[in-house]
C-alpha cells in the first residue's frame, strides 16, 4: 500500500555525518550478480580490496574485513588483544567514545575513563601523566576515537602516540577511525597505532555493513595470548585465509564489489586531494556558521573536524525542532545531538561523495531553516561559504596554470 502525498521531488539531502550518500558508481557495482565466494573470480576481488584498504590505512601490516558495523570492529579490537580484568585507558570525547567504553565494561574489562567536556579531543598530556604513574604497567591498552562523530572534534592521534612514548609505556594503542578514514589524513604505521577500527558507511562511501581492523605486529602477537572469548571475530582465522583472497565464512560479496569501486574512486582522485577537499568544505561550513552568528561546538581550532560541523543552538531553541522543519520543508536530514547534547546541537555532515555545489545547497537549506524556525541568526552564511569556495577554486586554477608546461614555442 502506497502512502498518499509521500513523494518529494528532487533528491533527498542526506547531510548527517554518516551513513553518507552512496555514489552511483558504487551502487552500480553493488548491483551485480553474486558470485561463488570460493571461486577464482572472487579471490581476485578479495586480494584487491585487502590491498586497497592497506593503502587507505597507510599500513604494511594486516587489514581484516568483517561483514559488520563499526561496533563489530570495536569488539574485534578488544577481544583479540585483551584478557578478562585487563585495565584499559579510554578518553571521554563524546557519545561514541562512551559507547566503546560501555562495550569494554560488558566484556569484563576494567576501564579508566579520562573525563572530557565533549568539546575537546583526547588530551595527550593527561594520557602521558596517567601512563607515567602506571609503573607496574597495569594498563594494557589506550583507546581513542580519532574523529568523534557526535561532536565534530578530532583528536590529535600523532600527539597521543608521542605521549605514550614519552611515558615509556608498553600499552597497546587502539584508534577508532569510523568517521575519519578516507576523509581525514590517517597514518596507522607512522603513528604507531596497534589496532585501527573503521566502517564502510562514511568516508568509504558505502552502505553500512563492512567493518575493518588494521592490525600491527604487536597487536597480532598480543592476540596469541589474549583470553577474552572470540570466535567470529578471531583475527588468526581471517588472516590465515585472506592471503589467498578468501574469507573463513561467507563474506558480504556485493558490498565488497562496492568497496572495490569506492577504492578506485578514492585512488583516482588521490587521497591527498580527498583530504584537501574535506578540509575546504569544513572551512567553508565554519565560515557560514560564524557568519550566522552561531557557535561551533568544538572549542580548539586545532581539533576542528573535516567531516562534520556541530552547531550549538541559541538558548531557548530546540535543535530537534529545527531539524524537523528543515526535513519537512527542504527534504534534508541533519544530524541530531546525541545523549547529553540532545536538542542542543545539530550536525552538518560534509564528507564522502560531496562537492562544492552540494555544500552550497546544504548550507542554503540550513539558512532557510533557521529563518523558518525563528532561530536568531544573521543572514549571509551561505554567501560567506560561497566566497571562500570561489576564492579557493581561483587559487587552484592559478596554481594549475603555473604548474602546466607552456605550449608556446
Determine the pLDDT at residue 401: 65
Distance, in Å, from the CA atom of 312 to the CA atom of 348, rounded to the nearest integer, reads: 11
Distance, in Å, from the CA atom of 37 to the CA atom of 298, rounded to the nearest integer, reads: 45
Question: In this predicted model, what pLDDT tens digit does every residue of 219-233 receive, in sequence order?
Answer: 999 999 999 999 999
Whether the predicted pLDDT of 93 surpasses 50: yes
Task: Lay out the sheet containing 295-296: strands in order across.
Answer: 13-15, 332-336, 345-349, 308-312, 295-296
Domain 13-19+270-403 and domain 24-267, same fold? Reply is no
Contact yes or no for 149/175 (Cβ under 8 A): no
Determine the pLDDT at residue 365: 98
Determine the pLDDT at residue 409: 37
Average pLDDT of the chain? 95
User: Residue 30 corresponds to which cell in the numbers above?
Assistant: 553493488
What kind of fold does domain 13-19+270-403 have according to CATH? 3.90.1150
Q: Tell me the sheet residues that pair with 199.
A: 211
Question: In this predicted model, what pLDDT tens digit does every residue of 192-205 receive, in sequence order?
Answer: 999 999 999 999 99
Arithmetic mean of pLDDT, 387-398 = 84
- Location of C-alpha cell 563492512: 210
- The domain segmentation of the chain, as residue ranges, is 13-19+270-403, 24-267
User: Residue 255 corresponds to which cell in the numbers above?
Assistant: 558490498
What are the distances in angstroms from CA 49 to CA 204, 213, 262? 12, 13, 10
Contact yes or no for 333/346 (Cβ under 8 A): no
Contact yes or no for 45/247 (Cβ under 8 A): no
Whether the predicted pLDDT of 267 surpasses 70: yes
Return phi, psi of residue 47, to 5°.
-65, -40
Determine the pLDDT at residue 8: 83
380: three-class secondary structure by DSSP: coil
Arithmetic mean of pLDDT, 273-280 = 98
Determine the pLDDT at residue 1: 44
Distance, in Å, from the CA atom of 183 to the CA atom of 191, rounded to the nearest integer, reads: 17
Whether the predicted pLDDT of 403 surpasses 70: no
pLDDT band at 399 (very low <50, low <70, confident <90, very high): low
Distance, in Å, from the CA atom of 261 to the CA atom of 279, rounded to the nearest integer, reads: 23
Question: In this predicted model, what pLDDT tens digit does every residue of 305-330 receive, in sequence order?
Answer: 999 999 999 999 999 999 999 999 99
Determine the pLDDT at residue 371: 98
Determine the pLDDT at residue 406: 44
Question: In this predicted model, what pLDDT tens digit does every residue of 16-45 receive, in sequence order?
Answer: 999 999 999 999 999 999 999 999 999 999
Measure CA 18 to chain center: 8
Q: Please count the CA atoms within 13 angstroms of the CA of 69 that sit on its side-chain side.
A: 4
CATH code of the region 24-267? 3.40.640.10
Question: Considering the chain, what percentage of its residues have pLDDT values greater than 90?
Answer: 93
Arithmetic mean of pLDDT, 171-175 = 99
Maximum C-alpha span of the chain: 74
Contact yes or no for 201/17 (Cβ under 8 A): no
Question: In this predicted model, what pLDDT tens digit does every residue of 358-381 receive, in sequence order?
Answer: 999 999 999 999 999 999 999 999
Determine the pLDDT at residue 407: 42
Question: Considering the chain, what percentage of its residues have pLDDT values greater than 70?
Answer: 96
Determine the pLDDT at residue 393: 82
Arithmetic mean of pLDDT, 224-244 = 97
Arithmetic mean of pLDDT, 95-116 = 98
Whether the predicted pLDDT of 148 surpasses 90: yes
Amino acid at each position: 500500500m502506497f502512502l498518499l502525498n509521500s513523494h518529494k521531488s528532487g533528491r533527498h539531502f542526506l547531510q548527517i555525518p554518516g551513513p553518507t550518500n552512496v555514489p552511483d558508481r558504487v551502487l552500480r557495482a553493488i548491483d551485480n550478480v553474486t558470485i561463488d565466494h570460493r571461486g577464482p573470480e572472487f579471490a581476485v576481488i578479495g586480494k584487491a580490496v585487502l590491498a586497497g584498504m592497506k593503502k587507505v590505512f597507510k599500513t604494511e601490516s594486516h587489514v581484516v574485513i568483517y561483514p559488520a558495523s563499526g561496533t563489530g570492529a570495536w569488539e574485534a579490537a578488544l577481544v583479540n588483544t585483551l584478557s578478562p580484568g585487563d585495565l584499559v585507558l579510554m578518553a571521554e570525547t563524546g557519545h561514541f567514545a562512551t559507547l566503546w567504553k560501555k562495550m569494554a565494561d560488558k566484556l569484563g574489562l576494567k576501564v579508566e575513563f579520562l573525563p572530557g567536556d565533549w568539546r575537546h579531543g583526547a588530551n595527550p598530556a593527561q594520557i602521558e601523566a596517567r601512563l607515567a604513574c602506571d609503573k607496574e604497567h597495569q594498563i594494557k591498552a589506550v583507546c581513542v576515537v580519532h574523529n568523534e562523530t557526535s561532536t565534530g572534534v578530532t583528536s590529535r592521534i600523532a600527539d597521543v602516540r608521542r605521549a605514550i612514548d614519552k611515558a615509556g609505556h608498553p600499552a597497546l594503542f587502539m584508534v577508532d577511525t569510523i568517521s575519519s578514514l578516507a576523509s581525514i589524513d590517517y597514518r596507522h604505521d607512522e603513528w604507531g597505532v596497534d589496532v585501527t577500527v573503521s566502517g564502510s558507511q562514511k568516508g568509504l562511501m558505502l552502505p553500512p555493513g563492512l567493518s575493518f581492523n588494521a592490525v600491527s605486529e604487536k597487536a597480532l602477537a598480543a592476540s596469541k595470548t589474549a583470553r577474552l572469548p572470540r570466535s567470529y571475530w578471531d583475527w588468526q582465522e581471517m588472516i590465515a585465509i585472506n592471503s589467498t583472497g578468501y574469507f573463513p565464512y561467507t563474506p558480504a560479496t556485493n558490498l565488497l564489489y562496492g568497496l572495490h569501486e569506492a577504492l578506485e574512486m578514492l585512488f583516482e582522485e588521490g587521497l591527498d586531494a580527498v583530504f584537501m577537499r574535506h578540509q575546504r568544505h569544513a572551512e567553508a561550513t565554519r565560515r557560514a556558521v560564524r557568519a550566522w552568528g552561531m557557535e561551533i561546538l568544538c572549542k580548539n581550532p586545532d581539533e576542528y573536524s573535516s567531516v562534520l560541523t556541530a552547531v550549538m543552538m541559541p538558548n531557548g531553541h530546540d535543535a530537534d525542532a529545527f531539524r524537523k522543519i528543515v526535513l519537512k520543508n527542504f527534504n534534508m536530514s541533519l544530524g541530531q545531538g546525541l545523549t547529553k547534547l540532545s536538542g542542543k546541537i545539530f550536525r552538518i555532515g560534509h564528507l564522502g561523495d560531496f562537492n562544492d555545489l552540494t555544500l552550497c545547497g546544504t548550507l542554503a537549506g540550513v539558512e532557510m531553516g533557521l529563518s523558518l524556525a525563528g532561530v536568531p541568526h544573521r543572514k549571509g552564511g551561505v554567501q560567506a561559504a560561497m566566497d571562500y569556495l570561489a576564492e579557493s577554486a581561483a587559487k587552484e586554477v592559478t596554481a594549475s596554470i603555473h604548474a602546466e608546461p607552456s605550449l608556446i614555442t
